[in-house]
Amino acid sequence: MRRLLITWMSVLSLLLAGAVLTAPAAAAHPYCGQVWGSTARGVPGMSAGQLTDVRAGRHACFDRLVLDVNAPLTGWSVRYVSQVTSDGSGFVVPVNGGARLEVVARVGVVPTDSFFTGSGALVDTRGYSTFRHVAWAGSFEGVTTVGLGVRARLPFRAFVLAGPGSGSRLVVDVGHQWCATGHTDC
């Protein structure tokens, strides 16, 4: 009886192994071919230079935020947070949208630059598919933060591009949706 049970278990395990090995993989349908996620991204450390501009653009599949720095950016982070807080004080910065990205460039700003001293929106996001608000969160001890309000917690990517000149750009792309239209498996 024991031998028969062992034989049947062996046959059953071989059949199951064959089914697993030959089963087709689940088809993924990412939006615009994007395989981005929503987990934090960044590079630890500090950077030289200063933030010189914050700008945004609209693309067919994503909205793009760009932070311009006048030197190579070697320390930065981008992550979803429940609240964006002001550098130094820790006060909550109002950021409109269904979800908030905290965009940190580990560089300072020129303290007299009026572009970065006011509150409110840094970029006019009217007409954007994903962006709802770009808010100044401050700069303190060489760390500068921008709050990015988006429609919902959507996939994003973040990376640094060299240039122009000796400067660099922190780029944050946020997809308009997770899955291709008509699909739920992405």
Delimit the domains of the chain by residue range: 31-175
Tell me the C-alpha distance between 9 and 3, whole Å: 10
Pick the CATH number of 31-175 from 2.60.40.3500, 2.60.15.10, 3.90.550.10, 3.40.50.300: 2.60.40.3500
Per the CB < 8 A criterion, the answer to whether 106 and 45 are in contact is yes
pTM to 2 decimal places: 0.80
Name the H helices within 23-117. Answer: none
Identify the CA nearest to 95 among candidates 84, 103, 105.
84
Q: What is the pLDDT of residue 73?
A: 96
The whole-angstrom separation of Cα 137 and Cα 103 is 9
Q: Using CA atoms, how far apart are residues 160 and 28, in angstroms rounded to an integer?
A: 28
How do the pLDDT tens digits run along the chain, 186 residues long?
556 545 555 544 544 444 444 333 444 688 888 889 999 999 999 999 999 999 999 999 999 999 999 999 999 999 999 999 988 888 999 999 999 999 999 999 876 555 555 556 789 999 999 999 999 998 889 999 999 999 999 999 999 999 989 999 999 999 999 988 888 777
Phi, psi of 163 (to 5 degrees): 90, 175
Q: Token digits for 163?
A: 């240039």
